[in-house]
């Protein structure tokens, strides 16, 4: 294997490793990675100039950045790493100004702005205001009062603008995530929302939560589309979801898994309750007139949560019961043992 092949393999592995990282991790790595080559040359120059105090501050910041980035890369604890880097970077900035004086006060601006990229808006604002107070204490008597007031006012404005921008961006991000998890036709959760809920249910703090999974499939739905058209089929799906939501509890969740297949996640229920609910839903659909003089029925597979199995295995058990219900003639309910 030549050197080009080796480099190619290394690059592929690096890209694969990066692709597994969250957006927050990548942003933190980029900000930290850019800070190191930005500060390191100054530390080297100051060592050559025998300016040991400032050189020590610069090298401490670089070493701290490397340590925190390594910690985040290994543990993937982004939130803790972001807080540590922000506090560490702010302390380093204040230490540099304390040693060098007001001539390097301009380093405060990028430091404070960077905090809003790494932390929640409120956290960044609190840390920056604490840094600003410390900065005023350090610079009082070391620079003209008018100049100090100008620095304070501009920093306050920068923090206010950054806070507003960061807060609005977070709200928009939450709204986009919410919209991305809603089925555009029926208004219920989509498959992504279902996967998200399964992930939450299998987090350690939800390990003891009892839950039940219903997999529902409208019987012979293709015939509805073929006979009445897709517009009529869409109306059946919408009315079906409205009907199911009117019966299940507020704490239960309905998802469109795909096509005419739906999933209900009911929490805090026992076997008897689940059995009665599934049968009630089946009967409710059967007696509802979705299309004039045309019967619409549903087959349902049900599985109680087994804490020893994965979310995928849980769904597969419920889906197997749905298959059994359809094989048994449809318009029926089957429950996993």
pLDDT digits (tens, 9 = 90+) for 257-287: 999 999 999 998 887 888 899 999 999 999 9
- 300 contacts 278 by C-beta, under 8 angstroms: yes
Identify the bridge partners of residue 213 per DSSP, sorted by sequence position: 265, 303
DSSP assignment letter at 140:
B
Respond yes or no: is residue 260 known to be catalytic. Answer: yes
Please determine, for residue 18, whether its predicted confidence score (pLDDT) is greater than 60.
no
Task: Return the percentage of the chain with pLDDT > 70, whole number.
Answer: 93
Please determine, for residue 255, whether its predicted confidence score (pLDDT) is greater than 90.
yes
Alpha helices in the chain (DSSP H): 3-19, 23-48, 52-75, 78-100, 108-118, 121-139, 145-180, 191-201, 221-228, 230-247, 271-287, 311-327
Judged by DSSP in three states, 299 sits in strand
Query: DSSP secondary structure string, 246-292?
Result: HHS-TTSEEEEEETTEEEEEEES--HHHHHHHHHHHHHHHHHS-SBT
The H or E element spanning position 334 is strand 333-335
Average pLDDT over residues 285-308: 92
Please determine, for residue 295, whether its predicted confidence score (pLDDT) is greater than 90.
yes
- Position 20 scores a pLDDT of 55
pLDDT digits (tens, 9 = 90+) for 303-337: 999 888 888 999 999 999 999 999 999 999 999 87
Most confident by average pLDDT, 82-91, 198-207, 231-240: 231-240
Query: Which residue bears the tokens 């007139």?
Result: 289
Please tell me which residue in 24, 175, 181, 260 is annotated as part of the active site: 260
Average pLDDT over residues 80-104: 85
- Inter-CA distances, 320 with 274, 277, 334, Å: 17, 19, 9
> Would the pTM of this model clear 0.75, i.e. be above it?
no
Nearest to 305 by CA among 215, 212, 214: 212
Structural domains of the chain ordered from first start? 3-180 (no CATH), 191-335 (3.30.70.270)
Judged by DSSP in three states, 141 sits in coil
Considering just the CA atoms, what is the radius of gyration of the chain in Å?
Answer: 30
């Amino acid at each position: 294997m030549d050197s080009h092949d080796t480099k190619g393999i290394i690059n592929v592995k690096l890209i694969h490793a990066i692709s597994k990282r969250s957006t927050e991790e990548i942003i933190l790595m980029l900000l930290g990675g850019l800070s190191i080559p930005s500060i390191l040359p100054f530390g080297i120059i100051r060592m050559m100039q025998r300016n040991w105090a400032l050189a020590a501050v610069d090298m401490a910041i670089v070493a701290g950045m490397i340590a925190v980035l390594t910690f985040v890369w290994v543990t993937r604890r982004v939130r803790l790493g972001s807080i540590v880097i922000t506090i560490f970077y702010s302390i380093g900035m204040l230490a540099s100004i304390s040693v060098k004086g007001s001539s390097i006060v301009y380093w405060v601006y990028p430091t404070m702005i960077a905090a809003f990229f790494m932390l929640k808006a409120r956290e960044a604002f609190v840390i920056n205001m604490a840094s600003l107070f410390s900065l005023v204490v350090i610079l009082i008597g070391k620079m003209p009062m008018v100049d100090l007031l100008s620095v304070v006012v501009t920093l306050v404005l920068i923090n206010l603008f950054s806070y507003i921008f960061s807060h609005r961006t977070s709200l928009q991000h939450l709204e986009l995530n919410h919209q991305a998890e809603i089925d555009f036709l029926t208004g219920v959760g989509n498959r992504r929302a279902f996967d998200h809920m399964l992930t939450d249910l299998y987090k350690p703090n939800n390990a003891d939560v009892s839950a039940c999974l219903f997999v529902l499939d409208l019987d012979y739905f293709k015939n509805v589309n073929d006979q009445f058209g897709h517009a009529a089929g869409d109306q059946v799906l919408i009315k079906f979801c409205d009907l199911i939501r009117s019966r299940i509890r507020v704490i239960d969740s309905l998802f469109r898994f795909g096509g005419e297949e739906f999933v209900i996640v009911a929490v805090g229920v026992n076997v008897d309750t689940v059995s009665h609910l599934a049968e009630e839903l089946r009967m409710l659909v059967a007696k509802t007139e979705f299309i004039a003089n045309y019967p619409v029925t549903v087959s349902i597979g049900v599985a109680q949560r087994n804490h020893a199995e994965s979310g995928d295995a849980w769904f597969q058990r419920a889906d197997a019961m749905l298959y059994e219900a359809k094989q048994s003639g449809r318009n029926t309910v089957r429950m996993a043992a």
